[in-house]
Structure 1
Amino acid sequence: MMRSELEKMKVTQTPPSIYYIPNFISKEEEQYLLHHVTSAPKPKWTQLSNRRLQNWGGLPHPKGMVAEEIPQWLKLYMEKVAALGFFGDKTPNHVLVNEYLAGQGIMPHEDGPLYHPVVSTISLGSHTLLEFYQPLNSEDLPCDKQKEQTSFEDRFLTSILLEPRSLVFVCDEMYKTYLHGISERTVDKITDSIANIEMCETAREAEELTRTTRVSLTIRHVPKVLKAKFLFGKK
């Protein structure tokens, strides 16, 4: 895909920068990836209260990530994502696989400095809404709101509809400054607050979409990588 074509994928209704690519993979590729995710050994899964996940490539840590071998079925798509050029001269070396059942989500958060400030995600199985919020210390909110607010409703900025088989890149200030999360819903209403709605064929005529099980492949670059012998103090 040429850079001029990629610029057409830029979501213009958000601060810099989000790029949304529908149908990045085929239905056959989607089933191929879902098969490998669900076939992963049970110890590879980590069960959280609101979802379960797999780490591939190592466990990111402030001291550095101890690199682990990534299977070929994931490497293929890491290379496909890297070829689009959003990581510059960096090579993606980590994949976080999240499984969300209908009604599950993740609290608004930032990915932080452990990663190169670009995140890419392939969605499998179901759609979801990726929602963005003003940061906790935002000057756009009155002081009393900053101190007292217990919900994220007043900090809501925009949302991006992630369709099955799509790829999204979150870069620049949208990565560095704003929080992102997924609300715990089973049905998403299709409204004008969805910044990329005109780019989503499956939702243009819909008033709402019902979630099913979604698997996300979040492909990133961890700059700080250590060898095991350094991490554990071996010589």
Structure 2
Amino acid sequence: MDLTQFEVKGVPPTVYYIPNFITNDEEAFLLKNIYSVPKPKWTCLSNRRLQDYGGIPHEKGMIPEKIPTWLQTYMHKVDNLHIFNDKKSNQVLINEYLPGQGIMPHSDGPLFYPTIATITCGSHTVLEFMENDEKRVNVCNILLKRCSLVIIKEDMYFKYLHSISEREVDNIGSCSNITPADELELKRSTRVSVTIRNVPKVLKIKFW
């Protein structure tokens, strides 16, 4: 796949946005498996809950954990885009956002290869990018539709923060990747994000 055709224009380098990266059946398959895990697999935070696969990134090195086959399928699909150059994905973070939930401005930081890929399931959201200073001036907004894949790298990874606002309805008129056919006001439902990454520093011990 030639990623250049999916580059979002008019924003700092670089964001690729691939609509319909997975099918509706694949989305249902992913959600079924995500919600079938034992309850202790979820980590509950104040504004969302999450699951980690592959290990917990750490500055001293990630202790690798076996990743279930159902998730490896989509890691391989992302790896086929060669976004990590000669590396393969080895860690996945799954977040669940109920309507009205979001995430504060942040960067993914130096523990990861500086490229992140996120599949969106269940509902759209708007990913907001801003300057990494006290003023937090908005740089751009990216609409993430169901079944899409967004890839963030270069300045958009290193230089800017990204966040999701806590609201139930999005006015997407300011998004850089909308099409003329898009409705400008979208109501959120429960969204599950599947973020696929590479952790370069991995310890040699294993839990399987």
Which interval holds the TM-score relative to the shorter structure?
over 0.9
Unaligned runs of 5+ in 2: none
CA displacement at 1:205 relative to structure 2: 3.9
CA displacement at 1:44 relative to structure 2: 0.7
What residue number does 2:172 align with? 190
Within-5 A mapping of 1:154-193: 155-191=137-173, 193=174
CA displacement at 1:224 relative to structure 2: 0.4
Q: Which amino acid aligns with 1:173?
A: D
CA distance in 1, matches of 2:159, 2:119: 22
What residue number does 1:219 align with? 196
**Contact 2:112 2:197 (8 Å CA) reproduced:** yes
2:101 equivalent to 1:91: no
Within-5 A mapping of 1:93-112: 93-112=90-109
**Contact 1:120 1:219 (8 Å CA) reproduced:** yes
**Contact 2:126 2:172 (8 Å CA) reproduced:** no
CA displacement at 1:43 relative to structure 2: 1.1
Say how many residue pairs are matched. 206
CA distance in 2, matches of 1:49, 1:62: 25
What residue number does 1:79 align with? 76
Query: For 1:47-76, what per-residue CA distance to the aligned partner results, in whole angstroms no more than 9, with x for missing partners?
Result: 000000000000011111000000000000
**Contact 1:13 1:196 (8 Å CA) reproduced:** no
Unaligned runs of 5+ in 1: 137-145, 230-235
CA distance in 1, matches of 2:41, 2:178: 35
Q: What is the TM-score with the length of structure 2 in the denominator?
A: 0.96
What residue number does 1:126 align with? 123
CA distance in 2, matches of 1:111, 1:165: 22
Who wins on radius of gyration, i.e. which is larger?
1
What residue number does 1:142 align with? none
**Contact 1:132 1:158 (8 Å CA) reproduced:** yes
What residue number does 1:58 align with? 55
2:44 equivalent to 1:47: yes
Percent identity of equivalent pairs: 56
CA change 1:159–1:16 in 2 (3 A) is same
CA distance in 2, matches of 1:74, 1:46: 18
CA displacement at 1:85 relative to structure 2: 1.2
Query: For 1:188-216, what per-residue CA distance to the aligned partner results, in whole angstroms no more than 9, with x for missing partners?
Result: 0021x211113xxxx73412000000000
Runs of 4+ aligned residues of structure 1 deviating over 3 Å after TM superposition are none
Q: What is the TM-score with the length of structure 1 in the denominator?
A: 0.85
Aligned-residue CA RMSD in angstroms? 1.2
CA distance in 2, matches of 1:67, 1:8: 35
